[in-house]
Every structure is written in structure tokens, then in C-alpha cells.
Amino acid sequence: MLTQFSANLGFLWPELELPRAIRRAAEAGFQAVECHWPYETPALDVKAALDETGLRMLCLNTRKGGVGESGLSALPGREADARAAIDEAIDYAVTTRTEAIHLMAGFGHGPEADEVFLTNIRYALANAPDDMMLLLEPLNPHDWPNYYLNSSEQAVRILDSLASPNARLMFDCYHVGRSGGGVIEELHALLPWIGHIQFASVPDRGPPGRGSIDYTQVFAVLEELAWAKPLGAEYRPDGSTEESLGWLRRFR
């Protein structure tokens, strides 16, 4: 089985409008794309680019919220805003046939935030199509101090309490490694909960091939585990995206 890759268009080709970035990803040899916040681009324009290229859109994020916010779903008192963001993400994903939504939690804390987050996840599950996945992504505390969802263990506890086949873990090798976890060990342990996998070098979030994570080994392990979905390249290029793609030619 050959490893397949998804271009995260939040970081790759950020200078291009989203439909052009989708076409550029196809030309570069990616099998899928994903994005952060596509809402300024009409969904039908994105759908047209996906149809033209044959690429899948794997996931998109709910909105961050206002200035200084990084998600709304775990913020007590912001339930109406969180649900509006969820509705928006679902509508956009349905039009573009995006397969999953990353529900951004934000900077909430304590038992009330726990309750609000669970309630908002259940709202998303109840309103999303049956074939759409909801993703929970822990963010590392070095880059995202005080973010509500900050460990794989916390995410798994939430997923177990939900017991829904449509709620899954977004496993970002960068965040796991930056938090001090062993990426390969955690892939083995967390595989039953994982819905999508992303990667970047640690600690600089650059392209794979440098830093503390050996992605030759990681990708080989994922093949052994029979992981069949495209892996999300969510890294920051040093210069142009094209100049950063040596890893893609090597692993493809």
C-alpha cells in the first residue's frame, strides 16, 4: 500500500485563493486536501475545484471566534455562537462534500467548560449527516497555552463518554511530539480512536525530514497498521510551497 497525502491549504499555498490552491495541490501530486477556515470562499467555487481535480476534501475547522479566540465549543456563555459556527461548518462541508469537521474547543476551563463542550459535540453529531465525522484535536501547551483540549488522554475520555462512531481523534504528530509524547507508541495505543492524522517536523513545524521525528519510520508504521486514509501535511514551508515538497517526491 502506497502512503497517500493531503495538502493542508491553511499552510500550503496560502498566497493563492482556495480554488487555485486546490488545483495546485493536484498538480503537485496530492491525493486530497484539507483546510482551516474556508468561509470567505464560496462553497460552490471550492466544490467546482474539487470536482475538476478529483481531490477529496478531508476536513475543515469551525471558526475561531473573535479576536484572541481559538474556538468556541468549550466556552461557557457562548453556546449560541458555538452552535452557529457548527451549523456554518456543517453547511459548508455538505456543499463541498468535506468528510470531517474539526470542532475547535477554545480557551475554556473547569467543569462548566467540560459540560458545554460535551453538549456542543452532541449538538454537532445530531445535526451533521450520518457519514460526516466530528474530530477533536488536542493542541500542545507550548504553542497553545490554556487551550481546553490539551492531551490525547483527555480527548479519549471525551470520546469514550460520547460512544459515537462519528466522533474521532485528530492525531497530529506535531502536537503529540511537541507535547513530549512518543508518536509511534501513541499511534499504536490510540489507533482505535483516530479519524485523521496530520504531520510536521518537531519542534519547528516545518516539512518532514528534519527535527526529532523520523517520518520514514512513522509512515512505515502506518502502512503496517493498514492506515488507508491520506495523511495531512500541515506544516509551514520555509519559502515557497513548491520548494518544500522534496519530501513528497521521496515518500510518494
Q: How far is CA 238 from CA 11, 12, 99, 205, 232, in A?
A: 11, 11, 29, 10, 18
Q: Residue 107, Cα to own-chain centre: how many angstroms? A: 18
- Picking from 178, 175, 158, 176, the residue whose alpha carbon sits closest to that of residue 167 is 158
pLDDT tens digits along 137-184: 999 999 999 999 999 999 999 999 999 999 999 999 999 999 998 999
| Residue 223 scores a pLDDT above 70 | yes
The percentage of the chain sitting over the pLDDT mark of 70, rounded to a whole number, equals: 99
For residues 126-141, give the mean pLDDT: 97
CATH hierarchy code of domain 5-251: 3.20.20.150
pTM for this entry? 0.96
Q: What is the pLDDT of residue 157?
A: 97
Q: What is the pLDDT of residue 3?
A: 86
Any catalytic annotation for residue 137?
yes
Q: What is the pLDDT of residue 229?
A: 96
The domains of the chain are located at 5-251
For residues 182-207, give the mean pLDDT: 97
Any catalytic annotation for residue 17?
no
Task: Select which of 69, 137, 185, 224 is catalytic.
Answer: 137
Mean pLDDT of the chain: 96
Split at pLDDT 50, 70, 90, the class of 2 is low
Task: Select which of 40, 234, 242, 243 is catalytic.
Answer: 234
| Residue 1 scores a pLDDT above 80 | no
pLDDT tens digits along 83-109: 999 999 999 999 999 999 999 999 999
